[in-house]
Each structure stands twice: as C-alpha cells, then as structure tokens.
Structure 1
Amino acid sequence: MLLNPMRWGLVPQILAGVVLGAILGLMLPTAGEAVGLAGQLFVSMLKAVAPLLVMLLVMSAIANRHESGNDGRKTFLTLLLYLVGTVSAALVALTLSWAFPQTLVLADAAQGTPPAAVGDVLSDVLFKLVDNPVNALLTGNFLGCLTWAVLLGVSFRSAPQAFRDNLETLAGGVADVVRYVIRLAPVGIFGLVASTVATSGASALAGYASVALLLVSAMLVMALLVNPLLVFLITRENPYPIVLRCLEGSGITAFFTRSSAANIPVNLTLAKSLGISEELYSMTIPIGATVNMAGAAITITVLTLAATNTLGIDVSFGAALVLCVVSALAACGASGVPSGSLLLIPLACSLFGIPLDVAMQVVAVGFVISVLQDSAETALNSSTDVVYTYAIDRMPLPGSSAGRSVSEEHS
C-alpha cells in the first residue's frame, strides 16, 4: 500500500511532486519547462474560480447566518487580529533589518506601474470596493467581490428560506468544484517546481542570498514565535499544535501555488477539520485571503530598508514606525496573487524620497528572489488566516464557553 501513491494523503503526494519536479528540472531542463504547463494550468484553474467562490461563500454565510452576538463579535475580532498581525510582521521586519542591515546591487529596472503615494493606495482600494460585480469577477478584484457579497448577503437575509437554501447549495457546489481541482495539486506542483528549477536553477538566488535569508527569517519568526504568542494570549492554550498543523495543512500548498486566493479552498477544508465554527470561518477565511498579508508587510519593509541602506539614507525611529504602518496598509491592498506585494515597494520607498526608477530596481530584485520570497510570503499569509480564525473561535466571550483545543479534538 505504501508503494501506491494514490493511497497517500494529499500532503505526501505534494511533497513527492516537489521532489520529482526538482529532479526533472535539474536533469532535464527542457522537459522541466515543458511540464511547467501543468503547473500553470493548475494555478489558472484555481485563480479562475476563486473570485466566484469568495463571493458565493460570503454571500451565503451572511444570508444564512443565525442571529448570534458572539458570532458577530468574533468575526470583528478576527479582522482586528488580522490587522494586529500585519503590523506586528512589519515591526519584526524592521527589527531584523536594523539588526542585520542589508544592501542591494541595483542594476535592472522592473516593469509595472506602482502607486506613487498612500493616497493612491486608498483611492485604489475605494474604487475596487465599488467595482461592477461582473467586472470584479472577471478581473479577480476580491475587494469588489467582498463588497457585493456582503451587500447581497445582507439583502438576502429577508429572502424566502428556499432561496437561501439554494444559495447555500450553489456555494457548496462551487466549493466542490474547487476541491476537485485541489486533488490535481500534486501534478500541478510537480509542473511548477520542474519549470522553476529548469528556468532559474539553484544559482538564481545566490546573488541575493543574504536578503532572501533575512526575508525568510522574518517570516519564520512571525510564524513560529509571534503567531504562537498571539494565539497563547488569546486562548491560553499551547499554540504550537495548531500553528504547526496550519503550516502543514495550508502553508505547504500555499508555498507552491503562491496565491492566497487559490489557497482559500484548502483553508476552508482545514478550518472545518479543526472544528472551527462554520459561520466564522466561512467569513474570515475569504476575507483573510485579501487583507491578512503579514508576509507582504515583511517584504515591503525589508526591501525598502535595504534600499535606504544602499543609498545611505538615514532612517529615524519615527520614520521607521511610519514605514511599518504604511507597509501594513499597502500589504492589505496587495492582491492575493503571486508577487502581488512587490509593486507596492515604490510606495514605501517614496517615504524616503527614493526616485521611482531606483525603487523599480528594488522591485526587480524582489522578482529575482521571488521564487523563494513569494512562496514563503504566501505560506505565512495563508496559514495565518486559519491560525487567527482558530484562536478567535477558541476565545471565551461573555455568555459563551471556550472550545476544545486542537489536541483534544484529534487525540
């Protein structure tokens, strides 16, 4: 039975795909690039269905939501925890950047049109919120999808029960479709890894190993120290069983798909298996894929401070704190797709008067190390969605009892 991969769990199959993909990419680069099509198709399928899934899940959850003060408070507290976690991530990145200053070799400029000021980010977010629902679905505008999902969900609360049941059935049907796609993850990730190794090779990160190491270290500190601390303060339980399980069940898949939005179905399944209240996770998981971006805040902060070090710009303590806030704000506006945070780096660089052409060279550095940086960033972002939702679900509120710990549920 052990020799039959079809009998393995999804995670072992994914790990097998990683190993085989790396071997193929190193030994047969041409073949590695060819099978990369499988990986691209896998991610494209997930990204295609993700906006519809977010809209239907949130809409159905609100329309069928039972009246409960605790549920409403816990949803709000989860969103607040998302914000706290994102700002904390920026502070971790700031601390490590000061402890281990980085510089960059700036040469080639990247392509793209980054925002020039904080006001541009805010206006962009506002216009995305009021986007046409059809256009939001077509363009993958998750903020627009969330807006219409909330508005329609509230409106449908007064609809006949039969209609709301059909809405729930429709949301479940789309979720099932995504689960079928997820079953293709081992093949898709095999293609992604083979293509990446074939085109970039192990030497792609060598020139920027120090910066990449600092980025990954900051993300590990956030995942293994700060997140457990937050969970412990909220639940008063040993946080590591849930943190490690979320890294295994969500982080591994997100690491290779490099898309928080594409990982929503994985997180929904994980949240259900952990016994989290469905009324809570059906709201917070889709929203978290859009606004809970601790990894993005780390990327923006570290690369911006590396740019100031390279140019010899002195960063005061007050300016550094402002950078943390701006990084957290920019991270919340980053899209849940691969490398979505990199084009927001010039926004943070503008705080220190760094010219746009130089800032775009910093973005280019980000793309060079994105094979590792973006994967680790997405793994942190996506797994944290479930970690924080679990913590708030287990937090005792007045008039409610605390839930069981993950170790009790699965002992």
Structure 2
Amino acid sequence: MDTENKTTQTNQPEKKRNLWQKYTDISLIKRIIVGLIIGVILALLIPTDAPEWALGIGEIISLLGNLFVAALRAVAPILVFFLVISALTTAKTAGSMKTVIVLYIISTLVAAFVAVIGSFIFPMELTLNVAEQVEQTSPSGIGEVLSTILMNICANPVDALANANFIGILTWAIVLGIALRAASPNVKEVFQAISDAVSIAVRWVINLAPFGIMGLVYTSVSTSGLDIFVEYGQLILLLVGCMLFIAFVTNPIIVAICTKHNPYPLVLRCLKDSGITAFFTRSSAANIPINMELCRKLGLNKDNYSVSIPLGATINMAGAAVTITVMTMAAAHTVGLSVDPITAGILCVLAAVSACGASGVAGGSLLLIPLACSLFGIDTTVAMEVVAIGFIIGVVQDSCETALNSSSDVLFTATAEYRQLQKEGKEFHLGKDAFSLSELD
C-alpha cells in the first residue's frame, strides 16, 4: 500500500507538468484568441442586471484581468533593469559595423517620429478600467518635463525599482552595464544568467495571458459593449499603417540616399524572403537563419553579415519603436495629457532607446511601454492597462512589427556594404532580376 501511495504521489507532479507542457505547446496566439472569445461570450451571458450569483462569477473573471495587469506591473521594472545591464556588458561591435549601426539607429528614430506624427494626425483614446480613477496633470512646459526627467535620472536605484521609475531604472542599468564591461567573464555570465532567469519568469506570466485577456475583455465588453472592438480595430490600423509607411516609404528613402539607386528591388526582396517568414514566426531571433541565407544569396560579405544580422535582431527595432510610441501617445490622449512638439521629440528618442531593449523579451515591445509612459508621468496602472490592450491586438501588431524589424536587418546590412564599396571607388549595380549587389568589372 505504501509503495502504491508513493507511486501515486510521484505521478501527480508529473501529470501536472505534462498538463502545463500540453498547454504551453499550443500557440500563444491561439490561446489568446480562445481567451478573447470566451471573455466576449461571458460578458454577453452575464449582463449588468444579471442575478447576484452571476455577478459574483463576473467579479472573479474580472479579477483574472486585474491579476494579470498586476503581474506585468511587478515584473517590468526588474526585467528592464537586468536586460539592459546584460545587453551592455556583453555587447560586441566591430569597426566595419559602424555604418550598419548608424543605419539601424537612424531608421529606429525615424520610425518613432513617423509614429508620433501618425498619433497627432489620428489621435487615439483607449477605454481603460482605471483611466477615470487616476488623476493626471499635463506638464506646464518643456522645463517641467526636463526637470522631472533629471530628478528621475538621479533617483536612488532601489527607490527607482520599488516605485517603477523607469527613467531611473534605465539610467542605472546603463551606468552599471558600461561599468561592468571591464568585469571578468564570470561576472558577466552572472548578469546574463539573472537576465535569462527574469526572462523565464516573464514567460511564465505571459503564458497566463489568455486568462488575463479573458478577464480584461470581459470587463471591457460588459461595461462598454461590443463597440470596444471598433476601438481596437482603429488602433491596429494606426499601428500597421505606420509600419507600412516605414517599410515602403522611409526605409527606401534611407537606402536611396545611401546608394543613389532605386531601392525598391532590394526592399521588396527583403520583405518577400525575410518579412513573410518573420510575420509568422513573430521572432527576430528565430528569423536569423533566414536572414543569413538571404544575405548569402545577395552575395554579401559573410564577415559583415554574420555580425550585423544578430546585432540587428537586438538593436534594429523600428517596429518596436512604432508600437511603444503609438501606445504611449494613446495613453497620454486617454488621460487627457497634451503633448507639445518638444516633448514628442524626446519621446521619439526614448522610444528608440527602449525599442533596442525589446529583443528577447517575452511580449516584445509591449512591456517597455511603461518606460516611455514615465516621460509624461503617466500612472503605472494606466500604462499596464495599455500593455494589456497590446496583448489583445498582439496577434496582428506583433507579427507586423517582427516582419518590419527582421526584413530591415538585411536591407540595411546590404545598404551599408554597398555604401562602403562605393567609398572604395568600386562600381556596383543593384540587379532587378537577382536583387543582388553585383560588382561590375
């Protein structure tokens, strides 16, 4: 009997692990869609005039959404802190990568600028559960904004982590990351291990997103009705519209300025061979082998692209900059903050810097939205509600974001090499048929 009891007790944890494994093996997109549908159905089945016992069930469902937002709010500060430290301590750049890095940075800044312009032209206001409960006051001017930023920069690091002061967190992470570049490999490995551990913890939270989304959608639909999805559709259109503008207008302009050739053959080839696969994998890291193979087909220098492609998967984040900027501007409009042009310019820079930390984060750029929201002093609770909305629309948003990010890695790698060869006095032709850079003797 004792042996049977021990066997049963041993099998129970194993069954639980198998159940969790089966759950996580299902695509996160599919799980979120199911959670979203269930949330809508429950909201329609439990109206505001339902019996008291039914409303009690509704409160429990809403609690799932609140717990999900609270978990995101708890993990985001420590995630940003260790992610930036780890990235800076292990970052390696070669002299030949200078042009590529400059192009990556310029394109990300331009993307943030496009998103700001788009948000001014098509201002978005979101329906948030806490927006009316939180009082926000608009900064009186750029002086107040700069003063707030400087005070946040000088904040005690422990206090910054405790109070989710993302400006202070980012500052101390950069300082420590640069200081630790001279540390021994063992020390760097420790911070890398901590960063990996925090990322794993974030993945656990994200894996519970379907339950959180169910609760948030239930709350939104039960209070605002099905019209809430019109709002989400408009937000998706703004995000995707900005990304398409970058892919087909601003990026080609950057390439044309650098190469003085028609950029569209190369742009279309990168979108076709890299962008489509990245759209479905939704991971810049997973698309690195695809980009490497495309670079080989384009006849690029392996010594260059073997460094620039992995680097681009980390710091070339135009799509992430768009997401961070649009969602932050939507949060500002929602709580009634007016954004002046100078503050919007600062937001572009902050969004670009934040976007560079989006790689490797479960949930991508969404968890870095509070960092940009902190520029306006937007309450963390409001920022995390915006993050949660990002997960609801993430099925489309994240796919388009990754497609833009990954395809432009190859685009700017090829552009940088072409520009370098031009400086050396070599003639090159951007072939229409092969879409390759082929030297003319």
Is it true that 1:120 corresponds to 2:120 in the alignment? no
Q: 2:278 pairs with 239, 244, 254, which one?
A: 254
Range 331-340 or range 387-396, more displaced: 331-340
The CA distance in 2 between the partners of 1:368 and 1:113, in whole Å, is 28
Displacement of 1:397: 4.1
Identify the residue that residue 133 of structure 1 maps to in structure 2: 189
Displacement of 1:107: 2.5
Identify the residue that residue 95 of structure 1 maps to in structure 2: 117
> Aligned to 1:334, what secondary structure does the other structure show?
coil
Q: 2:245 pairs with 221, 246, 256, which one?
A: 221
Displacement of 1:338: 4.7
Unmatched runs of 5 consecutive residues or more in structure 2: 1-20, 29-86, 132-160, 181-186, 198-209, 218-225, 437-441
Going from structure 1 to structure 2, the CA distance change for 1:118 and 1:218 (only over 3 Å counts) comes to: same
Is it true that 1:107 corresponds to 2:107 in the alignment? no
Going from structure 1 to structure 2, the CA distance change for 1:336 and 1:245 (only over 3 Å counts) comes to: farther
Q: Is the 8 A contact 1:334 1:340 kept in 2?
A: yes
Q: Is the 8 A contact 1:259 1:338 kept in 2?
A: no
Answer with 1 or 2: which has the greater Rg.
2
Q: 1:37 pairs with 25, 39, 52, which one?
A: 25
Displacement of 1:124: 3.0
Aligned 1:314-325 pairs, distance under 5 A: 314-325=338-349
Identify the residue that residue 404 of structure 1 maps to in structure 2: 429
Q: Is the 8 A contact 1:261 1:337 kept in 2?
A: no
> Aligned to 1:101, what secondary structure does the other structure show?
coil
Q: Is the 8 A contact 2:323 2:365 kept in 1?
A: yes
Displacement of 1:121: 2.0
Q: Is the 8 A contact 2:100 2:416 kept in 1?
A: yes
What amino acid does structure 1 have at the position aligned with 2:25? L
The CA distance in 2 between the partners of 1:408 and 1:115, in whole Å, is 52
Deviation string, structure 1 residues 53-99 (Cα, Å, up to 9, x no partner):
x9xxx99x97xxxxxxxxx44x1011011000000000000111111
Q: 1:209 pairs with 226, 230, 233, which one?
A: 233
The CA distance in 1 between the partners of 2:401 and 2:229, in whole Å, is 16
Identify the residue that residue 309 of structure 1 maps to in structure 2: 333
Displacement of 1:335: 2.2
What amino acid does structure 2 have at the position aligned with 1:343? L
Displacement of 1:234: 0.7
The CA distance in 2 between the partners of 1:364 and 1:328, in whole Å, is 21
Aligned 1:5-404 pairs, distance under 5 A: 37=25, 72-73=95-96, 75-107=97-129, 116-125=165-174, 130=180, 132-133=188-189, 136=192, 207-395=231-419, 396-404=421-429
Going from structure 1 to structure 2, the CA distance change for 1:84 and 1:408 (only over 3 Å counts) comes to: same
Q: Is the 8 A contact 1:251 1:380 kept in 2?
A: yes
Q: Is the 8 A contact 2:167 2:374 kept in 1?
A: no
Going from structure 1 to structure 2, the CA distance change for 1:77 and 1:309 (only over 3 Å counts) comes to: same
Going from structure 1 to structure 2, the CA distance change for 1:403 and 1:317 (only over 3 Å counts) comes to: same
Deviation string, structure 1 residues 380-406 (Cα, Å, up to 9, x no partner):
111111111111111144334143314
What amino acid does structure 2 have at the position aligned with 1:294? A
TM-score (norm 1): 0.64
Q: Is the 8 A contact 1:114 1:343 kept in 2?
A: no
Displacement of 1:139: 5.5
Deviation string, structure 1 residues 142-197 (Cα, Å, up to 9, x no partner):
xxxxxxxxxxxxxxxxxxxxxxxxxxxxxxxxxxxxxxxxxxxxxxxxxxxxx9xx
Q: Is the 8 A contact 2:321 2:355 kept in 1?
A: yes
Unmatched runs of 5 consecutive residues or more in structure 1: 1-32, 41-53, 63-71, 142-194
Displacement of 1:264: 1.0
What amino acid does structure 1 have at the position aligned with 2:244? L
Identical aligned residues as a percent:
45
Going from structure 1 to structure 2, the CA distance change for 1:244 and 1:410 (only over 3 Å counts) comes to: closer
Q: Which runs of 4+ in 1 moved over 6 A?
A: 33-36
The CA distance in 2 between the partners of 1:265 and 1:338, in whole Å, is 20
> Aligned to 1:219, what secondary structure does the other structure show?
helix
What amino acid does structure 1 have at the position aligned with 2:310? P
Going from structure 1 to structure 2, the CA distance change for 1:268 and 1:123 (only over 3 Å counts) comes to: farther
Going from structure 1 to structure 2, the CA distance change for 1:283 and 1:114 (only over 3 Å counts) comes to: farther
Q: Is the 8 A contact 1:394 1:404 kept in 2?
A: no
> Aligned to 1:404, what secondary structure does the other structure show?
strand
Q: Is the 8 A contact 1:125 1:333 kept in 2?
A: no
